[in-house]
A and B are shown apart, each in its own frame.
Chain A
Amino acid sequence: MNQTQKSDSKVFTFFKTLTLVAILLFLLFPLYWVLITAFKTNLEAYRYPPTFFPRVPVIDSFVSLFKENNQFFVYYKNNIIVSSFVALLCCIVAIFAGYSLARFKNRWNRWFFALLLASQMFPVISRMISLYTIMGKLDIINTLAGLSLALLAAQAPFCIILMSSFFAGIPKEIEEAAYVDGAGRFRILFSIITPLVKSGLVAVGIYAFLMTWDDYLHAATLIQADGKRTLSVGIALRYLGELSYDWSLVNTISIVGTIPVVLLFFFFQKYMIKGLVAGAVKG
């Protein structure tokens, strides 16, 4: 590899660095911009030409979010409830079906796998047109439980495929030995096999959490009461309704709304990166 580097001409290295810097700036500068806007006074945020660093960093917009615009935290709380619930159930469903897909290669499972692949393709709006009516008839529309179930079904297929790619890496001999020792099937699955795929399970849970946190369409159609709204829809309807937006507040909301998922992702980054690659390439 050293040879390659030596053979790199100066012009090549220059363009390589330029490309790298340009793409990284495109990806990261917007985040910096949001961050500094949130710490500017309203007067400075509306200054043109804009300032690239706040003259006196203030936390006014955070205070106003907590004091005057705290309906935001109702959406926030709902989002945490729904996302955690979906992530938890998704893990259970994915352990069951993921293990079955990896371990038992029968005719049924081939159909089941095709079902999972196909169900990721359909547009959400198409489902919502029908679910809006069906769930209305069953009286589970406008409830967080109903919303969670619809979201769980949406996240489950990818999570199952992801989980099965982790189960596939566990040698069959391990459970054969336990089977001979007389352990039951569920005991083998839960106390012998599942602990071996713990890191995969973390990736699945966090993936389901992130995707549910991101949901807009399910909540926009299935929830009508303001007190039950989740984050994305709540923000869009409450803080983007008027003609002129309060941009300091909007930038503050962007930061507070992103922090939990960014923390979660970076804390479990090792598992997530491995998991995303494994899941995508397998599926």
Chain B
Amino acid sequence: MKTKQLSRHRSDTYFSLFLDLPAILLTVSFIIVPIVDSVIKSFQTFGLKNIISKKPGIWNNFANYLYLLKTDEFGNATMHTFSFVLWIVVVQFVLAMLLALILNSNIKGARFMRSIMMTPWVVPTVISALIWMWLFQPQYGLLKYLVSVVTGGRVSEFAILNNPATALAGVGIAALWKQIPLMTLLLLAGLQNVPHDISEAAMIDGAGKVRRFFSIILPYLSPVIKVSLSMAIIENFKQFPLFWTMTGGGPNNATTTLAVLSYREAFVGMNLGAGAAITTLWMGMMIVVIFLYNKAFRIQDMQ
């Protein structure tokens, strides 16, 4: 009997490995190997010539990295990326939390509203870029009109994407529009799991709305918040199509993030080695951010 169980155990292992095999093959060959290869390429001179002649790249003594340090471009792109991620994630969290709390408060038509508010999430990213470019259009755009009405005609020319000071915010609005629905949905699902009786008991004890939110609802939501924030951080760190379609990194590089810079270097300038150096540093930063983020949540959980 014992040997039979043992052999069953071993055959379980083989069977599970067999089932994992297609996914492992895919992940290793289309994700892990390319990532490692791009890190290697970041230390090489690798450009269009190598692709045409199918010759491997040559080690170049950190030339790609030194090249990045020569101009401010990389530093600026890093700044843009971080400020974009920070602003979008904070604003998105506040708005999604407000919407989720309201939809969870027994109002009429909450189910219907939850369902139609998901639409922007489904709209393809490039198309959401087009939608907002049309609203922001410098001559006939709706936003220009609204701004001129609100300011009583004082600001009659408002082109958010053409001004280096506001362009990043313009792309951010489109990003918020597309991402708020999913975060609201996740937070709403979390809110629905908060035990009713606890919240009610606190109310009877005389705890106000704000007090109840911070000392009962928020701690219960902590796991959901952790997941949805980390999804938002990763997504915005990687954001590319919105920038590329709406501004192409302009005006005057005001919206050039690490994604735009690496794409431009690798696929417009065809300097794949330098592009790989940017993505390697970019990945490193992302890993550090996620690590610190997890650590922060762990400390908070212990308290």
Interface of A toward B, CB cutoff 8 Å: 1, 3-5, 16, 19-20, 23-24, 26-28, 30-31, 33-34, 37, 45-50, 92-93, 96-97, 99-101, 103-104, 106, 108-109, 112, 115-116, 119-134, 136-137, 149-150, 152-154, 156-157, 160, 185, 210, 213-214, 216-217, 220-221, 231-232, 235-236, 240, 247, 250-251, 253-254, 257-258, 261-262, 265-266, 269, 273, 276-277, 280-281, 283
Contact = CB atoms under 8 A, between A and B. Distances in A.
Q: Is the interface of B mostly helix, strand, loop or mixed?
A: helix
B286 A121 contact: yes
Contacts of B31: 119, 122, 127, 153-154
A49 B117 contact: no
A247 B137 CA distance: 10
22 contacts: A20-B102, A23-B180, A27-B120, A30-B135, A48-B140, A49-B145, A50-B140, A92-B22, A99-B19, A104-B13, A108-B17, A123-B279, A126-B35, A129-B34, A130-B35, A149-B26, A232-B125, A232-B126, A247-B137, A261-B124, A262-B123, A283-B227
B166 interface: no
B134 A250 contact: yes
A216 B24 contact: no
Interface string B12-38: 110111011111101101111111011
A210 B119 CA distance: 12
B249 interface: no
A20 B99 contact: yes
Contacts of B244: 216, 236
Contact of B241 (A28, A122, A217, A277): A217
Given A232-B126, A257-B127, A127 B240 contact: no
B47 to A, nearest CB: 11
Contact of B23 (A5, A93, A132): A93
Question: Shortest 8 CB-CB distances between A and B: which pairs?
Answer: A153-B30, A126-B279, A104-B16, A130-B34, A100-B19, A130-B37, A232-B126, A97-B23
B interface residue count range (under 10 / 10 to 19 / 20 to 34 / 35 or more): 35 or more
B12 A104 contact: yes
A266 B123 CA distance: 12
A269 B16 CA distance: 32
B68 to A, nearest CB: 15
B102 A97 contact: no
B132 A30 contact: yes
Interface stretch (B71-79, B82-90, B182-190, B295-303): B182-190
Given A27-B180, A93-B23, A126-B38, A210 B122 contact: yes
A157 B19 contact: no
Contacts of A210: 122
Given A27-B120, A261-B122, A97 B140 contact: no
A89 B119 CA distance: 26
Interface string B120-148: 10111111001110110101101011000
A138 B13 CA distance: 33
Given A129-B262, A130-B34, A283-B227, 6 more contacts: A5-B106, A122-B35, A124-B240, A154-B30, A253-B127, A265-B122
B20 A109 contact: yes
A232 B129 CA distance: 11
B286 A123 contact: yes
A280 B113 contact: no
